[in-house]
A and B are shown apart, each in its own frame.
Chain A
Amino acid sequence: MSVDATHRAVEQAARESYGRLLAFLAARTRDVAAAEDALAEAFHAALEHWPRDGVPAQPEAWLLTAARRRLIDASRRAQVRRDALPALLVAADAAEEQLVPDLAFPDERLKLLFVCAHPAIARDVHTPLMLQTVLGLDAARIASAFLVKPATMGQRLSRAKAKIRDAGIAFELPLAGDLPARLGAVLEAIYAAYGSGWDDVAGADPRRRGLAIEAVALGRTLLQLLPAEPEARGLLALMLYCELRRAARRDESGTYVPLSRQDTMRWSRPLIAEADRLLQAAQRAGRLGRFQLEAAIQAVHARRAVSGVTDWEALALLYEGLVRLAPGIGALVGRAAAVAEARDAEHGWALLQAIPAEAVRDYQPYWALATHLLARLQRHGEADTARERAIGLCEDPAMRTFLRQQGRRPH
């Protein structure tokens, strides 16, 4: 087999199996870093052996055996964690039992997700830890996506893994009583990788972290592992509702297009259908949650593809519900935007002004919406000031250009 073909086989195995292999190894040793090292060495070994010996019939099993052997060797060499050894040997047996043809080793990724979002782990590491362990993203890419110094991100990840090992955080599913809170943390961590969808309503593009595809992949994994959980379904629906607008967010010249002016012909019909199906299935469970509500908000927007109009009354109601359930700054701004459309600019502005100034000092969507509402209220001087603020807080050059052009329009 050619080297290229082997590389592709290794890459494919990495893409498809990294998280499952790592979860399996880490669940048995509770040492994520050691499992990562062993797995990395196993992939290295594959690059060496597979071109010579051919790609094994069961690449995953091969990688698992190689990684396990390395873990055992490392554990013997280090002798620092004697207690890891019995666990490893158990792992070896368990894996071999499981690795009969057509039967995969157990999928422990759900336990790994719960460990990544464990309350004992610093909140700002939940998402990076998931991206690294479940999807195998490298720390440098994660650091860039989250605007963190790569060395710092590396340290945070190492600290979190040391904590998992030293505190002996168990790779097990939360008890029923803990489940809602623990699941909430997992959902939030996945959504944090996506960015936020509601910013769109305020006329601002969600902050693009470049990890949308990875976040959707995590969402799909979670749903596959927790098929009966309506909030997991709601979260995936929410992300897909935002994804389906991706192509419409910029026009041909690369200029930013706000949601209200997007050409719905450029929205993805298959994604609308998939998101609708997911949300409807979630709602049939009869347990409403934050992510289903947010998905429902985006579903209303998506309906414009069929009806040609936006039901702002429905949006105002849904945002009201969201503000009660999860009163984040985005929800408050989104509600003001919806009320401004459903009733009038005055009511929207009143809601916007009620948000504490401290909370919006560097929150760009607030200023973008303030610009829009003040202009509608004919308060042009104040609108110009708000627009400058919105421009100054922009990260996205396309958005900055859009806001400038808005400012040049005759009032």
Chain B
Amino acid sequence: MNYSILIYETAADFAVRNDPDPERREAYWSAWPPYAQALREAGVFAGGAGLEPPDTATTLRFRGDEQLVQDGPFADTKEQLGGFFIVDVPDLDAALAWAARVPRSPGRVCEVRPNLKPMG
């Protein structure tokens, strides 16, 4: 069964991605490949992507026939979606065990949700 591990990051998380201090930048970027690799080696990796920061987002809204295009993310929350992994595991307990291994950072939050079964 597929579960999505949605990773919500803080403004500080997004900022440190381009930190002028190479060590701090490196600390952010180097955390992810081992995690993704561990998912692959364990045979549970089913997809995923890192996302550019929320200020690169463009939001489309539709009201009746009208469409509205806005700069920025849909929800104005402190934490924003920074990326996600899809894991193929037997049950939610196993998905949560993998979510617990997502590299941690102050304020970072993981949400785990079952994916809908593919239609058709």
Residue positions of A touching B, CB distance < 8 A: 147-149, 152, 361-362, 388-389, 391-395, 397, 400, 404
Contacts and interface: CB of A to CB of B under 8 A. Distances in A.
22 contacts: A147-B93, A147-B96, A147-B97, A148-B92, A148-B93, A148-B96, A149-B96, A361-B41, A362-B38, A362-B97, A388-B33, A388-B37, A389-B41, A392-B34, A392-B35, A392-B38, A392-B101, A393-B38, A393-B101, A394-B101, A397-B103, A400-B103
Nearest to B105: A397
Interface in B26-47: 30-31, 33-39, 41-43
B64 to A, nearest CB: 38
Given A388-B33, A389-B34, A362 B42 contact: yes
B104 interface: yes
A392 B36 contact: yes
Nearest to A149: B92
Interface string B81-120: 0000000000011001100110110000000000000000
Given A392-B34, A397-B104, 7 more contacts: A147-B93, A147-B100, A389-B37, A391-B34, A392-B36, A392-B41, A395-B101
Contacts of B104: 397
Interface of B is mostly: helix
Interface in B47-96: 92-93, 96
What interface size band does chain B fall in? 20 to 34
A397 B103 CA distance: 7
B34 A361 contact: no
A397 B27 CA distance: 12
A149 B111 CA distance: 11
Given A147-B96, A149-B92, A395-B101, A400 B41 contact: no
B92 A152 contact: yes
B47 to A, nearest CB: 17
B80 to A, nearest CB: 21
A145 B2 CA distance: 24
Nearest to A357: B41
Contacts of A361: 41-43
A392 B103 CA distance: 8
A22 to B, nearest CB: 27
A208 to B, nearest CB: 11
B105 to A, nearest CB: 8
B101 to A, nearest CB: 5
Q: Nearest 6 A-B pairs (CB), nearest first? A: A392-B38, A392-B34, A391-B34, A361-B42, A388-B34, A147-B96
A397 B106 CA distance: 11
Contacts of A397: 103-104
A196 to B, nearest CB: 15
A404 B37 CA distance: 16
A142 to B, nearest CB: 14
Contacts of A395: 100-101
Contacts of A391: 34
A185 B31 CA distance: 39
A389 to B, nearest CB: 6
A361 B38 CA distance: 8
A400 B35 CA distance: 11
Contacts of B39: 392
B26 to A, nearest CB: 10
Contacts of A389: 34, 37-38, 41
A361 B41 CA distance: 7
Nearest to B93: A148
A394 B34 CA distance: 10
Nearest to B32: A392
Contacts of A148: 92-93, 96
Contacts of B42: 361-362
A391 B41 CA distance: 13
B33 to A, nearest CB: 7
A33 to B, nearest CB: 23
B37 A400 contact: no
Contacts of B92: 148-149, 152
Nearest to B30: A404
A149 B100 CA distance: 13
A55 B81 CA distance: 52
A22 B100 CA distance: 34
A400 B30 CA distance: 11
A82 B45 CA distance: 53
A361 B97 CA distance: 13
Contacts of A149: 92, 96
Nearest to A390: B34
A361 B92 CA distance: 18
Contacts of B37: 388-389, 392
A195 to B, nearest CB: 14
